[in-house]
Amino acid sequence: MKKITLILPVILVLFLAAACKEKRVERRMEGKWVIAKQTSSYGFGFGSGFGYSGISNPGTMEFSDNGNVIWTQTPNDTTIYVRTGTWTNSIDQLTLSLSQDDNFEAQVIPFTIKKQTRKEMRLLVVLDYIDDSGYQVVDQVTLEMDKE
């Protein structure tokens, strides 16, 4: 019985600490972030090929405190896509649920938070899909962001 009364407070403290950290991640997320760099490394099939690409200043993400997100993508000098949706987070995960629009289908993107401070954030997502030619593609995308 003594072991249970000793273990219960420890479990409660650990639970509260995790909840506080998750709330801190959420508070840091809120606001406008400039995507300073987007990198993508990808492979086709079973190691049949690989590649790497990088885009500088590919857009912004704006996270509101009510759970909405606006992702402005600028993959080149003339194209601008604005995606809207909602966001949720855990201690090390950011999930975007993006709405369907004229250019994109509805999409859920589960990012792993690799780094987060008040001013910097690095997100990683691994996309595994079959391309139009029937090849399996594994694409690892990293977004490096700075708070505006």
In this predicted structure, what is the pLDDT of residue 3?
Answer: 60
In this predicted structure, what is the pLDDT of residue 70?
Answer: 96
In this predicted structure, what is the pLDDT of residue 52?
Answer: 65
Helix (H, G, I), strand (E, B) or coil at 136: strand
Model confidence pLDDT, tens digit, residues 65-119: 999 999 998 877 777 889 999 999 998 999 999 999 888 899 999 999 999 999 9
Helix (H) or strand (E) holding 12: helix 2-29
Model confidence pLDDT, tens digit, residues 19-54: 567 777 788 889 999 999 888 887 765 554 566 677
Average pLDDT, the chain: 82
Residue 68 exposure: Cα atoms within 13 Å on the Cβ side: 5
Domain total in the chain? 1
DSSP per position, 51-108: EEEEEEEEEEEEE-TTSEEEEEE-SSSS--EEEEEEEEE-SSEEEEEEPP-SS---EE
* pTM of the predicted model as reported, rounded to 2 decimal places: 0.75
Instruction: Say which residue the tokens 């809207």 belong to.
Output: 84
CA atoms of 105 and 95, how far apart (whole Å): 16
Residue 15 has pLDDT above 80, yes or no: no
Model confidence at 4, in pLDDT bands (50, 70, 90)?
low
Mean pLDDT of 115-125: 93
Q: What's the CATH number where 53 sits? A: 2.40.128.280
In this predicted structure, what is the pLDDT of residue 108?
Answer: 94
Residue 10 has pLDDT above 90, yes or no: no
Residue 3 exposure: Cα atoms within 13 Å on the Cβ side: 0
Phi, psi of 134 (to 5 degrees): 90, 5
Containing domain of residue 50, as a range?
Answer: 2-147
Residue 127 has pLDDT above 90, yes or no: no
